[in-house]
Amino acid sequence: ETGVTQTPRHLVMGMTNKKSLKCEQHLGHNAMYWYKQSAKKPLELMFVYNFKEQTENNSVPSRFSPECPNSSHLFLHLHTLQPEDSALYLCASSQDYGRGGTDTQYFGPGTRLTVL
């Protein structure tokens, strides 16, 4: 596997379910990100982890819970979601965090989430 991988690629869940999204980067990067991409809206940054420590929480509701056990893996735990949470959830990584435009972010293919 190369680059940034995400599983599952598609997920349908009910509002009472608990599920997790997984992201793995094979690039040796130190920073990892979760983004939400909704139709007709800009990409929204959700969380940033740098060296396994959370450095950004962009006012995300607590029904989204991130976990970063090491620099290569990132999870997004989901519980009691709402239909408006249906979107494409993208994971990204970069060599470092906080150096502005010089930190190229590499994106995974995303998980298409549908909440019924």
Instruction: Catalog residues that contact another protein under the rule CB under 8 A.
Output: 4, 40-43, 45, 55-56, 58, 90, 92, 96-110
Compute the residue count for the chain.
Answer: 116
Which SS3 state, helix, strand or coil, does residue 16 take? coil
Q: For the CB of residue 15, give the shortest distance to another protein in the complex, in Å.
A: 26
Closest to another protein by CB, 40 vs 84, is 40
Closest to another protein by CB, 52 vs 79, is 52
Closest to another protein by CB, 16 vs 53, is 53
All residues at 6 or more sequence positions from 40 whose CB lies less than 8 Å from its CB, including other chains: none
Q: For the CB of residue 57, give the shortest distance to another protein in the complex, in Å.
A: 10
Residue identified by tokens 């959370």 is 54
Q: For the CB of residue 17, give the shortest distance to another protein in the complex, in Å.
A: 24
Of the candidates 72, 78, 74, which has an alpha carbon nearest to the alpha carbon of residue 33?
A: 74
Of the candidates 12, 21, 19, which has an alpha carbon nearest to the alpha carbon of residue 83?
A: 12
C-alpha span between 8 and 109 (Å, rounded): 10
Closest to another protein by CB, 72 vs 80, is 72
Q: For the CB of residue 91, give the shortest distance to another protein in the complex, in Å.
A: 8
